[in-house]
Amino acid sequence: MAHRVDIKETGEQFWVEPQESILQAAQRQGVRIHSDCEFGGCGTCRIQVTRGQVSYEDDCLPMSISDQEHEQGHAAACQARLQADIEISLANHIDVLPDTQQVTARVHSVARACQGIWHLVLQLPDEAVVPFRPGQYLNILFDDGRARSFSMANADARSGRIELYVREVEGGRFTQACLPGLKAGDALQVQLPLGVFYWRERDWRPMVMVATGTGIAPIRAILESLLDNADCPPVSLYWGMNRPEDLYLAQEFASWADRLCEFQFVPVLSHADQDWSGARGYVQQQVCRDIPDLSEHAVYLCGSPVMIEQAQALFAEHGADARFMYADAFNFQTDACKAETSAA
């Protein structure tokens, strides 16, 4: 028996068959729900269930939905099934995003940003016009159909260049087998833009941006887009790394102090020596020490899935509203999956 889904914002309806996920049914009937990995890991297809409830195979929540978020009505449309009619909110899917394109990019430069992290700059073809929202990502495509996903670290592509910060992964097909041998002029097939991690201007709330590792890349892009913007809300940036030498963008962020509204940059180190005088420990805990009441803030999280899961639960305890928490978890996928996702 099929079940009906009512869309809160528009009053539209679509029907989900017993063997379908909500996302599959929506795609079949022309209802737009942004998606990417489609195995429950990325959170791109997250929806809000405002009436009724969803279920998952074997009662196992997907990686992108915590127990607390499930209780609050958040759902991964790519995995969620129905046993009754429901109503959903597609507030995170109403923005019109740029169309995805596949182009041949050339390597402009490749260099170490710090130990274990590469700075890769790609040059798009002169004829390519590829708009994107700061915070989105691209896929580097392999001949066998697999892909490697990396967040774009610059705000736009008007110069035709795309910056990536890539963490080297032990045994990584791209990061160890391919990346170290790249040289200027080498061709890479890329697909862009992708993802729904970007600044929601309509929120206009003080922003807390939290990153671990190379999760700083999309946040850097968002911040760059807000430089000298009179409508920029207050911004606090927390970046968790291991050691001072890992903070490869620290000087740049410090130079932006007068170009962003009430900007605070707080690096948080987990393995600093005794000479480090800044914040120590876990980045999400430092946020709550500095901002005990998050009820009026919009929160942007990017980096390791563990940090994001812990931060979402902790920030909720400190008043953060799940409607204004946006996350981009860097998850690995198995070899059986089409895409391999960059890890912070």
Q: Per-residue DSSP letters for 160-195?
A: SEEEEEEE--TT-TTTTTTGGG--TT-EEEEEEEE-
* pLDDT the model gives residue 331: 56
Are 120 and 166 spatial neighbours (Cβ–Cβ below 8 Å)? yes
- Least Cα distance to 257 among 237, 280, 230, 231 occurs for 237
* pLDDT the model gives residue 68: 82
Are 97 and 193 spatial neighbours (Cβ–Cβ below 8 Å)? yes
Type of residue at 310: Q
* pLDDT the model gives residue 62: 92
**CA dist., res. 189 & res. 164, Å (int):** 15
* pLDDT the model gives residue 125: 93
* pLDDT the model gives residue 36: 80
Global confidence as pTM: 0.85
**CA dist., res. 342 & res. 344, Å (int):** 7
**Per-residue pLDDT in tens (0 to 9) along the chain, 344 residues:** 999 999 999 899 999 999 999 999 999 999 999 888 888 887 889 999 999 999 999 999 998 888 888 998 999 999 999 999 999 999 888 788 888 999 999 999 999 999 999 999 999 998 888 999 999 999 999 988 889 999 999 998 888 999 999 999 888 889 988 999 999 999 999 999 998 899 999 999 999 999 999 999 999 999 999 999 999 999 999 999 999 999 999 999 999 999 999 999 999 999 999 999 999 999 999 999 999 999 999 999 999 989 998 999 999 999 999 889 998 877 543 333 333 444 34
Q: Which two tokens stand for residue 27?
A: 């795609």
Residue with tokens 């697909």, as numbered in its chain: 191
> 3-state SS of the chain: helix, strand, coil percent to 5?
20, 30, 50
Domains of the chain, first to last: 3-93 (3.10.20.30), 101-196 (2.40.30.10), 201-329 (3.40.50.80)
**CA dist., res. 149 & res. 246, Å (int):** 22
* pLDDT the model gives residue 176: 87
Q: DSSP readout, 316-329?
A: HHTT--GGGEEEEE
Sheet with 74-76: list strands edge to edge: 13-16, 3-7, 86-89, 46-51, 74-76
**CA dist., res. 130 & res. 141, Å (int):** 17
- Listed in sequence order, the DSSP H helices in the chain are 22-28, 67-71, 216-226, 250-255, 283-290, 305-317
Mapping DSSP to helix (H, G, I), strand (E, B) and coil, where does residue 241 land?
Answer: strand
* pLDDT the model gives residue 159: 86
* pLDDT the model gives residue 37: 81
